[in-house]
Structure 1
Amino acid sequence: MKDSTLGPGAVQWLGTHYRTTLTTDETGGAMSVTDSVSPPGSGPPRHIHHDADEAFVMLSGDAEFWLAGDRFFRGPGQTVFIPRGLEHTFRIVGETPSRHLVILTPGGFEGFFAEMSAGQFRIPQDMPAIDQCAARYHMTFTGPPLGAEDAEAGQ
């Protein structure tokens, strides 16, 4: 679904707004940069990017990250580097949305956000379709989102 709140070309999926500010085409495939605004409590299921390194640049809000079994927090002005092939996820914590840049090298993954937005797929209900799309972008979902264990425990 197109989203004009972040400017031209922005899309929205599961309450998160994505706008690619540097496309794969503009970098000759070297990288892509996506400006993302995520609501409190949001975050993807655990996953692996098999062919791309990922960096988060936190502009506002706070996030808890899980990277290969380690949990840590990052806030405005901080960054996270996730090497390709490492299992990871994150969750926006606190009461305010998080705006962050998602940088992937090489580029190409921005197409995943566009496809998810176009289909408005739901997690976990539409995971088979999401998994098929993720495979086209060399990503595998491997586990639940952060906080799922809290929900299961009734917290």
Structure 2
Amino acid sequence: MPATRGLVLGPDEGDPYHWLGTLSITKILGSSTTGNLDVVDHRVPPGFAARWHVHRDADEVFYLIDGDLEVRCGGDAWRAGRDSLVFLPRGVPHGFVNSTDGPARILIFCAPAGFGDLIVALGEEAPQLDLPPADAPVPPPDRIAAVAAAHGICRTQEPESTKIS
């Protein structure tokens, strides 16, 4: 159903999920934006790496609220610090690492929507707004790959020249 009203959410409002070792708070999903946009408050532990992958249909924008990221996109590599904006175009492989000794907090915008539904499909509702324990279970890799592919996201082989350590 199309959005007919505006919305204001506070910093910790939304639907929290533990997802692949992170805390992801879905702020707004495609079901509220006629499929046009997802916004997710993504909190990742130190050393967390989103390995090389590609979004077939969606552009992705990160606004880094806290922390430092090493970002790779195509043949480019950047360090993004607090208050930085990162644009990752659809169809271009990318990945990132939280290169700090503390959690990083990223506001992720995906257009069109779909990424938030992936979090809902693979995540577990978080009982509180904390990162999951380091030993929290994650779905098997084949399930992650199948669900991600259904949402237009697939892992790709990272070129050695851009390898994120």
- Which bin holds the TM-score, normalised by the shorter protein? 0.7 to 0.9
Deviations 1:61-100 (A, max 9, x none): 0000010022111011111001100000000011111111
Between the aligned partners of 1:143 and 1:44, the Cα distance in structure 2 is 13
Deviations 1:76-128 (A, max 9, x none): 1111001100000000011111111110000121111122224x535xxx322
Between the aligned partners of 1:134 and 1:79, the Cα distance in structure 2 is 24
What's the Cα RMSD here? 1.6
The answer to whether the aligner puts 1:142 opposite 2:148 as a matched pair is no
Q: Would the alpha carbon gap of residues 49 and 101 (structure 1) be closer, same or farther in structure 2, given more than 3 Å must change? A: same
Instruction: For 1:1-155, list aligned pairs within 5 A.
Output: 6-118=12-124, 120-121=137-138, 126-143=140-157, 146-147=164-165
Question: How far did residue 7 of structure 1 move?
Answer: 4.6
Between the aligned partners of 1:13 and 1:28, the Cα distance in structure 2 is 24
The amino acid of 1:29's aligned partner reads G
Between the aligned partners of 2:42 and 2:23, the Cα distance in structure 1 is 6
What stretches of structure 1 of length at least 5 have no aligned partner?
Answer: 1-5, 148-155
Identity across the alignment (%): 30
Please say if residues 21 and 35 of structure 1, whose CA atoms lie closer than 8 Å, have aligned partners that are also in contact. Answer: yes
What stretches of structure 2 of length at least 5 have no aligned partner?
Answer: 1-11, 125-136
> TM-score if structure 2 supplies the norm length?
0.78
